[in-house]
Amino acid sequence: MTDPRRLRRRQRPNLAGAAGRNLALVAPLPDLPPFPTFRPRRLRRTPALRRLVSEVAVRPSDLVLPMFVREGLDEAVPVASMPGCFQHSMDSLVKAAVEAVEAGVGGLMIYGVPLSKDARGSGGDDPDGILNVALRRLRDELGDTTVLMSDLCLDEFTDHGHCGVLAADGSVDNDATLERYASMALAQAEAGAHLLGASGMMDGQVDAARRALDGAGYVDTGILAYAPKYASGFYGPFREAVNSSLQGDRAAYQQDASRSVADALAEVAMDVQEGADLVMVKPALPYLDILRAVADASPVPVAAYQISGEYAMVEAAAANGWLNRERAMLETLTSIKRAGASVILTYWATEVANLLR
Ligand code: PBG
């Protein structure tokens, strides 16, 4: 018979080791009576008992649907690596957006896929660029009934596929990119976005966008800062979804998965100081430890992005009959919420909102 108190003492050094300098964040284990007095299974016995003690619930309004709109399409084109997702035409975008809002989702995040690209990503701040046209159309259609968000990043618009403009040596030029982001921020605010998703991982990007917005009178347009955003192998399917031109990777500007949580908290502190209205952790499932730490520390609401590869893994396994799709889907979202996200970007948003209603 194992006394949980003995177990607790034995586990203490392990907890300290795993959590390292974040030891203070680890709650002490409670003093529970030993088995057989304490039987945790008592509260799991029936659906009614489980429902009574359930603590974490994903709500439709927590969910944000990322959507792709591609210039020049007459009808939606399926994204092969993301079953159920589409590159939308303008009309199918509006239709799917209305469906999502009717299902009760909390917001929409829009990505544009332009017909032509160049080195500076001119389509991003062109008022007639696909993303800005789509934002205007959606805002006209939906008004303030949902939260309209836009990707504030150049990668969909550059011919080299990087999130910024390049310096002569081929590296991404941080400060020159900030000028492009400032201009994009104005175009997106003018087009009607409520929140701008600063996703490029340039240092100072929130400050650049905030100052541009304030300078032009867009004081109420908010910024959702991708605060910790990791260079991830799980972005793969997104590359197909946005017809990405990227060769190589983004390791020189996105974060390294091997860094500790302090690196993530530094990004959060910086973005909040620069005026971020929300901060986001991305990807979600492989970074739940980071999400928990950010949720504990952040003075502003915290979002998490369940990215394309997280979605594709579950879809692919389910398509093979290797796991139950709906169960896996809901379990991942519950985990992300439990880890501290109050907002979750997920390609399942509409479906889950309908399921939960
Ligand atoms: C950058 C951006 C990316 C994603 C969202 N915004 C690509 C990247 O950083 O490489 C990925 C989202 C996903 O994989 O679902 N504009």
* pLDDT tens sequence across 119-134: 999 999 999 999 999 9
pLDDT of residue 25: 57
Strands 86-88 and 77-78: antiparallel
229: domain CATH number is: 3.20.20.70
29: exposed, middle or buried (Cβ count in 10 Å: 0-12, 13-18, 19+): middle
Percent of the chain's residues with pLDDT above 70: 93
Diameter of the chain by CA atoms? 71
Residue found by looking up tokens 């209205």 in the block: 277
Q: Does residue 163 lie within any of the structural domains?
A: yes
pLDDT tens digits, one per residue of 61-111: 999 999 999 999 999 999 999 999 999 999 999 999 999 999 999 999 999
Q: Does residue 8 lie within any of the structural domains?
A: no
Interacting residues of 117 by C-beta distance below 8 A, sequence separation 6+: 123, 157, 158, 159, 245
Percent of the chain's residues with pLDDT above 90: 91
pLDDT of residue 156: 97
pLDDT of residue 28: 79
Distance 206 CA to ligand 1 centre (A): 17
Q: Does residue 37 lie within any of the structural domains?
A: no
Q: pTM, whole model, 2 decimals? A: 0.92
pLDDT higher than threshold 80 for residue 8: no
Q: Does residue 252 lie within any of the structural domains?
A: yes
pLDDT tens digits, one per residue of 269-318: 999 999 999 999 999 999 999 999 999 999 999 999 999 999 999 999 99
Confirm whether 95 is a catalytic residue. Answer: no
Q: How many folded domains does the chain comprise?
A: 1
| Ligand 1 cavity residues, CB under 6 Å | 151, 153, 155, 163, 199, 235, 238, 250, 307-308
pLDDT higher than threshold 80 for residue 3: no
Residue nearest to atom 5 of ligand 1 (CA): 199
Confirm whether 282 is a catalytic residue. Answer: yes
Peptide bond into 283 cis (omega under 30): yes
Ligand 1: residue of 235, 244, 307, 332 to mutate (most ligand atoms within 8 A of CB) is 235
Q: Does residue 345 lie within any of the structural domains?
A: yes
Q: Which two tokens stand for residue 146?
A: 């949902």
Q: Which of 95, 117, 282, 337 is catalytic?
A: 282
Q: Which two tokens stand for residue 300?
A: 């502003």
Q: CA-CA distance, 198 to 208, in Å (whole number)?
A: 10
Sign of CA dihedral 96, 99, 101, 103: negative
Indicate the pLDDT class of residue 27, thresholds 50, 70 and 90.
Answer: confident
Q: CA-CA distance, 131 to 240, in Å (whole number)?
A: 17
What is the domain extent for residue 98? 60-356
**229 CA: nearest ligand 1 atom:** 9
Q: Which of 95, 117, 229, 337 is catalytic?
A: 229
Q: Does residue 6 lie within any of the structural domains?
A: no
Q: Does residue 251 lie within any of the structural domains?
A: yes
Q: CA-CA distance, 77 to 41, in Å (whole number)?
A: 48
Residue nearest to atom 2 of ligand 1 (CA): 199
pLDDT higher than threshold 70 for residue 11: no
Residue nearest to atom 7 of ligand 1 (CA): 235
Q: Does residue 65 lie within any of the structural domains?
A: yes
Residue 196 dihedral angles phi and psi, to the nearest 5° = -100, 125
